[in-house]
Amino acid sequence: MGLESKAGGSESRFAAYVEGITSALGHADRAAPFQSYCAGLLLPGDRKSVEPIAARVQPGRVQAAHQSLHHFVAKADWSDEAVLAAVRERVLPIIQQRGPIRALIIDDTGMPKKGTHSVGVARQYCGQLGKQDNCQVAVSLSAANEHASLPIAYRLYLPHEWADDPDQRARAGVPDEIAFQTKPQIALDQLRAARAAAIEAELVLADAGYGNDTDFRDGITEIGLTYAVGIQSSTTLWPPGMEPLPPKQWSGRGRPTSAIRRDAEHQPVSAKQLALDLPKKAWRRVTWREGTNTKLASRFAAVRVRPAHRDYQRTTPRPEEWCLIEWPADEPEPTKYFLSTLPATISRRALVAATKLRWRIERDYQDLKQELGLGHYEGRGWRGFHHHATLCIAAYGFLLSERGALPPSGPRNAILVEEYPIPQGYRPRGSADQT
C-alpha cells in the first residue's frame, strides 16, 4: 500500500501547507529546511532536536543536513511572529468549520534543563516536574473552541537573573528590547497582539497563576475582553449584597479623603469562607462536556461578588462579577475557585462550560511535547529557542488541519510524511557506543 493511499493524500497536503507558509520566512532558501524540520517533528522518534531530525529526513547526508537545519533554527533571521501569523491564517479557518473561536487561553509550560547556560534557565517552578528545579518557562496564548485549539503566541519568560545580566544576555543573543516582565505582563502583551490581529474571541481563560494577579484581570478588562480565571481560596471578596464603606465624611479639618474603606466589623471574606457560608441550596450538579469514558460533572455554586484586593485605595467599589466555586460531592471542601466578568445574565451551565474550556490547553501541550518535541531543543540561544517552538507549532497546525480533513472515525495518528530508515550505525553525538 503506497503512502498516498495510507494517509489519504496527506503527503501532498503537507507540501501545500508548507508552501503556503514559506513566504513568511523571508527568503526562498529557507523553504527546504523549513519543510525538512517540520517533517522531522512529525515523524516518530524519541528526540526531536536538530541532529536526530537530520538523520530521519536525510539519512544519506546527515552531517550536511545537520549543518543546514542548525543554521536555519539557531541563526537564520526570520520572524517567529510572521510564521505564527501564517500558520494562524491557514489553520484557524479549519478549526472554525466546527464552530467560532470561543476563547483565548493563557498558560505557561516548563522544560527541565540540567545545565544553567541555556537562555532563561533558572531554579523556578516547573509544572512538568511538579516542583522547583532548573528549567525554562514559556508563556503561550491559544485560540480555542470546543473542538480544537491552536497556540498563536509563545515567549520565553526571562527571570531577573537573566534579564539583568548583560553578559548572559549577550551570550544568549537576547534582543535589547526584551526587558524583565512577569508572566502576566507577557500574557497581556500577547492578548493585545491578538486583539490587534482581529482574532474573534471575547473570553480569556487562565489558571490561578494568572487569575490571582489583580492587575492582570484589570488589564484584560482594559483590552476590552471578558475573563474566567482561577483564583486561590484565600482571595478576598465582598459577599453578595456587601461592598466597602463609603469615604469618611469630611470633618472640616485636614485633607478630605475620597477612598472607600472597611472597619473592624465590616470586612471582606476569603473565597473559601464565602463557599463554606453558602446554603446547601446554592450548590447544583452541572455537566459540562463528554469525557473519554463518561460525562464530566461536578457540584458548583455561582454568586455575584466584588473583588476586594486593596480596594481601600480606590474611590469606588469594584464592579460585581461572578465567583464560580467547584465542590465535588466526594470532597471535604471546595476544590476550585474562579472569577469571571461574563454577563450577569449567563446561566450557571453556560458559565461552567465556558470556564472549563481551559482544558484544551492541556491537549496543546500534551501533543506539542509528546508528539512534536517542544522541549527537545538543545541550543542555548534566544533565537533558536523561539524558532524551534514556532516550528513545533507550525507542525502542530498541520496535525490540526489533518484532523479536520479526516472523518471522526479516522485514525488520529495517520502517517503524515514519508519516513526514511535511519542509516545503519548512526549514533547521535554524546550517546553511548552500543557495541
* All residues at 6 or more sequence positions from 139 whose CB lies less than 8 Å from its CB, including other chains: 106, 107, 108, 154, 155, 157, 183, 186, 187, 190
Q: What is the pLDDT of residue 256?
A: 67
**300 shares its domain with 422:** no
Is residue 249 pLDDT above 90, yes or no?
A: no
Q: Which residues contact 280 (CB under 8 A, 6 or more apart)?
A: none
Establish if 142 belongs to a structural domain: no
Q: What is the pLDDT of residues 185-231, one digit of tens each?
A: 999 999 999 999 999 899 999 999 999 999 999 999 999 999 999 99
Are both 232 and 317 inside the same structural domain?
Answer: yes
Report pTM: 0.89
Whether residue 304 is found in the same domain as residue 406:
no
**Confidence grade of residue 414 (pLDDT, cut at 50, 70, 90):** very low
pLDDT in tens, 364-377: 899 999 899 999 99
In terms of domains, do 273 and 336 share one? yes
Evaluated on CA atoms 20, 65, 372, 113, the torsion sign reads: negative
Per-residue pLDDT for 285 more than 80? yes
Q: What is the mean pLDDT of residues 49-66?
A: 89
User: Do 425 and 349 share a domain, yes or no?
Assistant: no
- pLDDT band, very low/low/confident/very high, at 434 (cuts 50, 70, 90): very low
**Which residues form the domain of 346?**
227-245+262-358
The answer to whether position 319 is within a domain reads yes
Shared domain for 330 and 238, answered yes or no, is: yes
Q: Is 80 exceeded by the pLDDT of residue 379?
A: yes
Task: Inform me whether the pLDDT recorded for 138 exceeds 70.
Answer: yes
Does one domain contain both 278 and 313? yes
When divided into structural domains, the chain yields a total of 2
